[in-house]
Chains A and B, each alone.
Chain A
Amino acid sequence: EVQLVESGGGLIQPGGSLRLSCAASGLIVSSDYMSWVRQAPGKGLEWVSIIYSGGTTYYADFVKGRFTISRDNSKNTLYLQINSLRAEDTAVYYCARTGDRGYFDYWGQGTLVTVSS
């Protein structure tokens, strides 16, 4: 059974930094494509970033160099480093396994990031 468990969210001041984690079981993070998707309160889903099995990474345009996706193969864990946080980054952040045609077939329960002073 595939399980993805996110952690690391919380209340952070504007301009701050946060590292989100996604611990995986039932799949191998380094062998799969893995994405982050976020959802602002009361809003729709928004794709954030992907890391391919080969290590190539891509980001949504709004990231503008502030986010970094990475993984620790020994811990089978995916990460999202978020810097220069803004109020509009407030959202639930989900990690998701990504199929080869871009669908998200397994999702974590999400971790809430609240950016506020």
Chain B
Amino acid sequence: SYVLTQPPSVSVAPGQTATITCGGNNIGSKSVHWYQQKPGQAPVLVVYDDSDRPSGIPERFSGSNSGNTATLTISRVEAGDEADYYCQVWDARGVFGGGTKLTV
């Protein structure tokens, strides 16, 4: 089965740029989606199809995908961005990465 690998944690200072990676075998050939989840809340889709943003998601959230790594980039990080982030692909079934806790 397909496996997605994320770093368990990432720390960043306010105003800086956070980069969260998602590794998978030839992941560049798949569409990658990213979710933000704050404690006690349902996940929220922040990036889909590698780099598209749903309406209402700030432009500070961006994504890229190539080779064996997909990346979620959060620019000008704010305290409110502190959350768990999950990458996900569809490989005949839903596959999630293990999640990355972003600490601001």
Q: Which residues of chain A are within 8 angstroms of B97 by Cβ–Cβ distance?
A: 44
Which residues on the A side are within 8 Å of B88 (C-beta)?
45, 102-104
Q: Is the CB of B45 within 8 A of A44?
A: no
User: Chain B contacts of A110 at CB under 8 A?
Assistant: 42
By a CB distance below 8 angstroms, the chain A residues around B84 are 44
- Chain B facing A: main interface SS: strand
Contact partners of A35 in chain B: CB under 8 A: 94
Interface size class of A (residues with CB under 8 A): 20 to 34
Taking CB atoms, residues of chain B closer than 8 Å to A47 are: 93-96
Tally of B interface residues using CB under 8 Å: 25
Task: Assess the A45–B43 pair: CB atoms within 8 A.
Answer: yes
Q: For window 79-117 of chain A, which residues contact chain B by CB distance below 8 Å?
A: 94, 98-99, 101-105, 107-110
Assuming the contacts A44-B99, A45-B86, A58-B93, asked whether A105 and B35 have C-beta atoms less than 8 A apart, the reply is no
> Is A108 within 8 A of B42, CB to CB?
yes
Q: How far is the CA of A101 from the CA of B89 in the complex (A)?
A: 8
A14 to B94, CA, bound (A): 26
What 0/1 pattern do residues 34 to 72 of A give for CB contact below 8 A with B? 010100000011110010000000101100000000000
Asked if B61 lies at the interface with its beta carbon under 8 angstroms from chain A, I say no
Mark each residue of chain B from 14 to 43: 1 if its CB lies under 8 Å from any CB of chain A, else 0: 000000000000000001010101000011
3 interchain residue pairs of minimum CB distance: A102-B90, A47-B94, A103-B33
